[in-house]
Structure 1
Amino acid sequence: MFIKQITNKLDEILTELMTNEPIPGLAIAVVQGNQKTYMNGFGVMNMEMNEAVTKDTLFHTASISKTFVALAIMQLVEKGDLNLHEPIISYLPYFCLADKRYRFITTRDLLSHSSGIPNEYEFNWENPEYDELAIERYVKSKKNEKLNFTPSEKFEYSNTAFEILGDIIQKVSGQPFEKYVEERILKPLRMNESSFLKAALNSSKIATPHILSMDSTYGPKVSSVFPYNRRHAASSTLCTSLVEMTNYAIMLHNNGLFQKQSLISGDYFVKMFDPIQKASWGEEMDEVGLAWFMGKYKGRKMYSHSGLDTGFRSNLIVLPKEKISIILFTNNDYSGTAIIWKAVLDVILGEKVERVKRSLARFLAKSLIESGENLTFEKFEQIKGGEIEASFNVLEAELNYVAYELFEDKKIDEGIALLKMAVELFLESTNLHDSLGEMYQAKGDRVEATRYFKKAIELDPTNDEAIEHLRALVEEELREG
């Protein structure tokens, strides 16, 4: 396809997507070789202000930040200031855990999510820290934790590991983490408006985070918190725009070189993509190297990282052989993005793409909230009778996930209704039947709960979760006589 055809096609399918899905704002870029083939923004930065998203809008990128950490570490390795295989206590003598094995953790273990250090789930966005010692305090706060497994043994994702890497960068370089990245990575890439430090950003250009509202309407609402806390800078806090992130992609296409300036030599650049552990996160994210995930997309080698924090999602996809990169930012945390970047990539690869398919789960959930169960079941019967997969993305896991969103928002009847429709599409799903049993149990309907738990076990006699649910239900009935 010529660039004009690509631009027209992407504008067409992405405009239709924004009409069909509850997405506040979206930014998409395509880089081919050294050329920025496509950059466009859709929707708004803030639902309450209606300012348009553009290629200059700054988005919180969440875990894509980790790829910058890997680059920073490898720069220090190339310089001879750091050894990937040296225990990290050589650089952080105060680091300790309540587990003697911590002494064996290396920088390589941290970068490849194979340190055994438990993941972090409490980011305290609502109570952020802003000072330079925030990361060090965070690292020291882990002294009572134990490892989940022996270092180097296997893959297990850990945000905590990357905060420790941020502290290592600070101590080895003698600079605050954010300052080092600014001077050694962002400035050489001419990413002058990007930063890991929120205070350094142009606040008028920052997209606002949105979360899902399921009250009288189903869609985005402005989040009361922004996902920033300096203790989590290394794992999460890079904010950037399409116009600047595309420079990063060009550097990736050139093995560390950008506009004749080398950020890192090719020999050290390629080490980031050497597989270290089996991740088994699907074909596209089958292995992990130094922060990066490696896999295949339709037979083509692929490197990637995604991001998810309160109010934001992001994707960075690289086909190294073809030198194609896709960048996706959105200011909501609930919309599936894989279906979007895959459609964009397919257009670039010359495949026929009619549209970005709508999420069936979101479509039905929206209808349940805004139109009620009866009308939604009528819509579902009409959809089911046609070529459902031609227009909708029909995923068992997403239907189950969205049903639990409703359930957790105390909309049990709507969650049950969605799962009943899901079961009609996936008759042999033990997981969906178990979920229905759980929701009926929460509703207090033991008869229906028992029926669905038994069906889940009939479909899969090894479904331990359903077996445990049924056992607990029977014991509860026996106690009550």
Structure 2
Amino acid sequence: MDTYMRKFQALGPLIAEICGFAGTPGLSLGVLHHGKVTHQANFGLRDVNSQAAPDENTSFVVGSLTKAITAAMVAIMVEDGKLAWNTQLRDVLQDFHRDARDPAVNITITDLLSHRTGLPSYDSLWLLSDNRIPIHRADAAPLLGHVPIAADLRTEFIYNNIAYEVLGQVIEKVSGTDYFSFLKERILNPLGMERTFYTDWPSNATNVAKAYYALHNASAYPIPPPLYGKDVLIGAAGGIRSSVSDLLTLYRALIDAANTQIEGHEPIIPHNPLRQLNYILQGKISLPLSTVREASYASGWLRLQLPSPMGLGGDHGPGIDPMLGKGLPSRLGFFHQGNIPGFTSFAAVFPETSSAVVVLTNSLGLTDSPRLVGQLLIEELFGNAINATDYSEYAKVNARESAATMSNVEKELIRHRTVYQPLHPLSEYVGKYYNLIGNFFIEIQELNGGLAISFMGTDRDRFDLEPYQCNSFFWVASHDEMAQRARYTTSPKEFYIIKFGHINIEAGSDTDSDSDFDVINGLWWKHEFTLQGKGEFFRKSKQEGQRSFSRYEGQLPLVARP
């Protein structure tokens, strides 16, 4: 193991360089091989203000690494006979409704676990500035029942955070206890995971990573913690807090359970709580990756046959994006990443060699430092040659381009701009516009001689509007302004365009921004790009009915600061 340790330690300068390009203040990593912890290392600061460094027990928000834990909890319930993999959601949560003719009404537990529901997540509605979540947890199942179909059931991989929130509620409904209590009783306590928490840290916790967002110059800007507080939405999709040491313990148990239940090996961990690994690790839906090898999504895990590109199907940016495992014999692994303003993470598990890699960071950086560092560790683990120049150059170029994204979006919007004055008096645009389910509104205000848009009526989500084309407007901000509000900067220009128009609700026809109309009674916002068309329609509320139209007005939950 000393040989491995020396090799991993030699990666230190390159890892530190990647963190510098990304604007990652703190990073913790760990490597498991042949069932034993081979290497752990820590870089930078978990708390910039106090200059405190992270260690293997520092708790980070792990983001979507939570999904595999939620899947493991569902598997325990299946093993207990309280659920079946083909149990339909509507049979558990009665507030999930879709038209009887809609195939999505038959969504099962497996469909939710594997992102094959064909339904979009509507992420832009549930996450606002400063990591505030405006939608109540009770609306998760109704929202899933409301969203339009993006693809036929079980035909395409469409990542869906709301689906995992609903799974968390299924666990609570069937078990009769809350999510974290079930997690502690059935997984954390049996495995001795003492540094893992759910949507909160204990009041006396001290070894906790603070949340940051990288500014354009790669400096770290402090932001409120994400997915924080009791009964917060999306907790079962990304709200677990954990440490490198705890996650290595968990993945060691997962590997042992997989080898025991699938390969018939003798168990190493007595009373291992993890169950149904033969089903959990099966590929359920193909991933849109450019590879001739296997690339599928299992239940909370990506199932990839190396060599393979990484990620969930999109480009990672310009430059040379190193392919994982190039030049090595084919090898099956299970992967996932986590990404939420303030924290990013990466995990990989290789049951055949009882190996695992974990990388946790406390920033949404300019480049994906956890994935790059994770790839470096995997290449070193299996003896592959590493081109340090490729990794360094990719991190540098990708960081530079990421920092310029908002500037490029603004240039594109200005380039396509055709009007400079609104076609209607400003007062005709002013009002509150609600989605059809009535749990989210966009407010248009007359401000400083122009118009401003405010999401859910909050000052922190207010942006000036500029005329764009006919009856459409755009809003935009700099990278640093978005970062300081903890808002993503990865959306294309269409995300920032608001189109006003008129829709005849009774006739089902609409008049969009390219036509003439007398009365503005709605707007379209393309916040979800798995759907075709010009976006979701938000209906303008009548002045006298605004107070009763939405039960959420004036009730936007605030983010607590620990």
Is 1:270 matched with 2:278? yes
1:424 alignment partner in structure 2: none
Choose the corresponding residue for 1:311, options 336, 339, 342: 342
CA apart distance, 1:11? 3.5
Is the strand fraction higher in 1 or 2? 2
Q: Which amino acid aligns with 2:274?
A: I
CA RMSD of aligned residues (A): 3.1
Sort the Cα spacing of 1:209 and 1:98 in 2 relative to 1 into closer, same or farther, 3 A: farther
SS of the aligned residue for 1:23 comes to coil
1:146 alignment partner in structure 2: 148
1:260-297 CA-to-partner distances (Å, cap 9, x unmatched) read 122134xx212111111111235598201122111122
Is 1:293 matched with 2:302? yes
Q: How does 1:202-241 map to 2 (within 5 A)?
A: 202-214=204-216, 217-228=217-228, 230-241=232-243
SS of the aligned residue for 2:356 comes to strand
SS of the aligned residue for 2:27 comes to strand
CA apart distance, 1:349? 1.4
More off after superposition, 233-242 vs 203-212:
203-212
Choose the corresponding residue for 1:329, options 360, 363, 367: 360
Alignment gaps of 5+ in structure 1: 365-394, 413-437, 445-464, 467-481
Sort the Cα spacing of 1:277 and 1:188 in 2 relative to 1 into closer, same or farther, 3 A: same
2:26 alignment partner in structure 1: 25
Q: Which amino acid aligns with 1:11?
A: G
SS of the aligned residue for 2:363 comes to coil
Contact preservation (8 Å) 2:93, 2:141: no
1:295-333 CA-to-partner distances (Å, cap 9, x unmatched) read 122321111111100111101111222221110111111
Q: In structure 2, what is the Cα distance between the partners aligned to 1:301 and 1:80?
A: 30
Q: In structure 1, what is the Cα distance between the partners aligned to 2:60 and 2:140?
A: 25
2:66 alignment partner in structure 1: 65
Q: In structure 2, what is the Cα distance between the partners aligned to 1:205 and 1:356?
A: 34
Sort the Cα spacing of 1:66 and 1:202 in 2 relative to 1 into closer, same or farther, 3 A: farther
Contact preservation (8 Å) 1:128, 1:228: no
1:172 alignment partner in structure 2: 174
Where in structure 1 do 4 or more consecutive aligned residues deviate above 6 Å?
Answer: none
| TM-score normalised by the chain length of structure 1 | 0.71
Sort the Cα spacing of 1:307 and 1:234 in 2 relative to 1 into closer, same or farther, 3 A: same
Q: How does 1:388-403 map to 2 (within 5 A)?
A: 401-403=402-404
Q: Which amino acid aligns with 2:244?
A: L
**Percent of paired sites with the same residue:** 19
Sort the Cα spacing of 1:201 and 1:192 in 2 relative to 1 into closer, same or farther, 3 A: farther
Sort the Cα spacing of 1:320 and 1:259 in 2 relative to 1 into closer, same or farther, 3 A: closer
1:59-104 CA-to-partner distances (Å, cap 9, x unmatched) read 1010010001111111111111101112111111222246743431
1:189-218 CA-to-partner distances (Å, cap 9, x unmatched) read 21122112305475422211111213xx44
More off after superposition, 202-211 vs 282-291:
282-291
Q: Which amino acid aligns with 1:270?
A: N
1:35 alignment partner in structure 2: 36
Q: In structure 1, what is the Cα distance between the partners aligned to 2:48 and 2:131?
A: 24
Contact preservation (8 Å) 2:22, 2:218: no
Sort the Cα spacing of 1:140 and 1:189 in 2 relative to 1 into closer, same or farther, 3 A: same
Choose the corresponding residue for 2:126, options 114, 118, 123: 123
SS of the aligned residue for 2:54 comes to coil
Q: In structure 1, what is the Cα distance between the partners aligned to 2:334 and 2:161?
A: 19
Q: Which amino acid aligns with 2:148?
A: K
Contact preservation (8 Å) 1:195, 1:201: no
Q: In structure 2, what is the Cα distance between the partners aligned to 1:115 and 1:105?
A: 6
1:342 alignment partner in structure 2: 375
Sort the Cα spacing of 1:109 and 1:202 in 2 relative to 1 into closer, same or farther, 3 A: farther
Q: In structure 1, what is the Cα distance between the partners aligned to 2:271 and 2:234?
A: 30
More off after superposition, 247-256 vs 72-81:
247-256
SS of the aligned residue for 1:255 comes to helix
CA apart distance, 1:138? 3.0
CA apart distance, 1:15? 3.9
Q: Which amino acid aligns with 2:278?
A: V
SS of the aligned residue for 2:206 comes to helix
1:254 alignment partner in structure 2: 256
SS of the aligned residue for 1:72 comes to helix
1:143-202 CA-to-partner distances (Å, cap 9, x unmatched) read 533332332232211111111101100011111112111211111121122112305475
Contact preservation (8 Å) 1:135, 1:166: no
Contact preservation (8 Å) 1:13, 1:356: no
Contact preservation (8 Å) 2:23, 2:215: no
Is the helix fraction higher in 1 or 2? 1
Q: Which amino acid aligns with 1:331?
A: N
1:82 alignment partner in structure 2: 83
Q: In structure 2, what is the Cα distance between the partners aligned to 1:281 and 1:333?
A: 24
SS of the aligned residue for 1:57 comes to coil
Sort the Cα spacing of 1:198 and 1:96 in 2 relative to 1 into closer, same or farther, 3 A: same
Q: In structure 1, what is the Cα distance between the partners aligned to 2:52 and 2:294?
A: 35
Q: In structure 1, what is the Cα distance between the partners aligned to 2:29 and 2:287?
A: 27
Q: Which amino acid aligns with 2:281?
A: F
CA apart distance, 1:119? 0.9
Q: In structure 1, what is the Cα distance between the partners aligned to 2:197 and 2:203?
A: 7
SS of the aligned residue for 1:182 comes to helix
Sort the Cα spacing of 1:81 and 1:319 in 2 relative to 1 into closer, same or farther, 3 A: same
Contact preservation (8 Å) 1:46, 1:222: no
| TM-score normalised by the chain length of structure 2 | 0.62
1:319-363 CA-to-partner distances (Å, cap 9, x unmatched) read 222221110111111231332211111111123436475554764
